[in-house]
Amino acid sequence: MEGQTVKIRRRLRRRKGLRKRLFGTAERPRLSVFRSHKNIYAQIIDDDRGVTLCEASTRSKELAPGLPYGGNVVAAKRVGEFLGRRAKEQNIERVCFDRGGFRYHGRVKALADAVREAGLKF
């Protein structure tokens, strides 16, 4: 943990507590979110098999050209819509939401709302 700021250590501690309760299965995979200052990443994971079923981020080759900046709410909404479409193509209907220790606010909330609008339930 050396070299990490207090803020990051607190987030990792919250994340550890969340991951004790959240586990993705084949019927209900885990939607994991990570945000950095410049980008936001989301992936749907089956923890039983240890496999990522689908992913989307502001750095995805399908989304990056249309986004001038990846670290804002607009970009998070686009990532959520794109991930929701990809999940529906793979017949994923229900997920459990893993916010990764981040507050459910701003970009994380925008991504979650966009995924819900795309048809996923959590």
Q: Which domains are seen in the chain, by residue range? A: 6-117 (3.30.420.100)
Of all residues in the chain, what percent carry a pLDDT higher than 90? 85
pLDDT of 1 higher than 60: no
Angle between helices 107-117 and 73-89 (to 10 degrees): 30
Write out pLDDT tens, residues 3-39.
788 999 999 999 998 888 888 888 999 999 999 999 9
Closest CA to 67 of 54, 58, 77, 57: 58
Confidence of residue 74 (pLDDT cuts 50, 70, 90): very high
* Rounded Cα distance, 56 and 76, in Å: 10
Write out pLDDT tens, residues 100-110.
999 999 999 99
Distances (CA, A) of 25 to 15, 20, 51, 54: 19, 14, 10, 14
Q: How far is CA 118 from the centre of its chain?
A: 14
pLDDT of 114 higher than 70: yes
Q: Say what the pLDDT of residue 2 is.
A: 67
**Mean pLDDT to the nearest integer, 41-61:** 96
